[in-house]
Amino acid sequence: MTENVLWAGRLKEKPQAQAFAFQASLAVDRRLVYQDIEGSRAHVAMLAAQHIIDTETAQALERELSSIALELKTGSLTIDESAEDIHSFIEGILTARLGDRGRMVHAGRSRNDQVVTDCKLYLKQTVPALSAELEHLIAVLLERAEAELETIMPGYTHLQRAQPVTVAHHLVAWCAALFRDRGRLNDALCRLNECPLGSGALAGSGLAIDRAATAAALGFAGPTLNSMDSVADRDFAVELAAACALIQVHLSRFCEDIVLWSSSEFGFLSLADTWSTGSSIMPQKKNPDFAELIRGKSGRTTGNLVSLLTMLKGIPYAYNKDLQEDKEALFDSLDTVSQSLRMFCGMIESARFNRERLAQSCRSGFLEATDLADYLVRKGMPFRTAHAVVAHLVRDCSAAGKQSIDGMSLAQLQSYSELFDTDLYQILKPESCIAARRLPGGPAPEAVRRQIDLLRREINV
């Protein structure tokens, strides 16, 4: 049915079946079928308005395009797997049903500008949905954070206990990263909101087409600036692949926290059985497989980004068949991130924090050391001197087998500095260390509450 549509012209023969299959893209671009129909309908309306095709032909094309879309949705028409791509499939149906009038649909456009238009239309629908999934995960994390505003836990640098924070502070840190991810998706949407249709193969069209009309009809801000750039450009694919790679890397890092926290060594968190797996040989195991899979899938999205950049770097600046490779990588990244966001959301909703274990972990490892140095600074000691005093104190405590400073007597502490007084014992408590950090961005409950409120306003939840 579609066999003669794209192998006309100077070519007498199609490639052999194996070669044809190698260069075909239907398996990937079939998801663009409704966008291809939408773009063709706008193009047909413009051709009629510009008197390039007659009204009767335009009406016939519009009628059949609408019919094809309906038939595909109801299942009375299925995509022909022998077609080279989705564009040739649609045009082949039109030609089979309307004869020469079906062939008129392609006036003033090329597959080069057609495929980029389809892809951008698809992304204009898909990326907002992905952004909404990010917002949903942020909302879930914020809800979890509100329940853990007072739950103290050790904060880490270099995977070493550093200072006391709260579970809420840590969860909102994840939200801050996801909020930036949302911004990157929205930024990419702004830059891809230009319509390539009418750019032709690379040099536009000699017909009196109206590119602004088709751009407006399809919901774009306007037509692209330069016809050659229109078909050569895949910046939008790279931007979105990069945004997806970074989202997945963020999820990977969050999952690394979850894997650590759910281990016996940490014991900070317990995942629901439905978000864990057992072992085929060890009866006692409860493995955080979903977190590990999400973490592992960061390799896919990073690889897709590298694939796109590598594909683009060596091709001359117009259309080349290499560009067909853009969609498989980009679509895989979009699918992977969407699935991972949903899995992570369900997993974290079911997680339960071990508040007792978290609090206990804050009472060893000298997490109060920085606050003790700040105490001396408030007493007038230069910070570097205070840092050295507390470092000396921690070293001696550690050598004596002590796990915290508050076990030392005031006389012992004053042997390191006369500025130490009885009031220091209150500030050594993890809750006091956290409460003292109420500046913007800090872990104090009121500071975290402000962060939560700000993010809620930004995502309107």
The residues annotated as belonging to the active site are 158, 279
Longest dimension (CA), the chain: 100
Cβ–Cβ < 8 Å for 162, 173: no
Q: What is d(CA 25, CA 382) in angstroms, rounded to the nearest whole number?
A: 68
DSSP 85: S
The continuous run of DSSP H or E covering 269 comes out as strand 269-270
> Which are the contacts of 212, defined by CB distance < 8 A and separation ≥ 6?
222, 223
Cβ–Cβ < 8 Å for 48, 94: no
Tell me the DSSP string of 137-187.
HHHHHHHHHHHTTT-EEEEEETTEEEEEEEHHHHHHHHHHHHHHHHHHHHH
Amino acid at 97: R
Determine the 3-state secondary structure of 353 from DSSP.
strand
- Which long-range contacts link 61-67 to residues 24+ away (Cβ below 8 Å)? 61/94, 61/98, 61/101, 61/102, 61/104, 61/105, 64/93, 64/94, 64/97, 64/98, 64/102, 65/37, 65/40, 65/41, 65/90, 65/94, 66/41
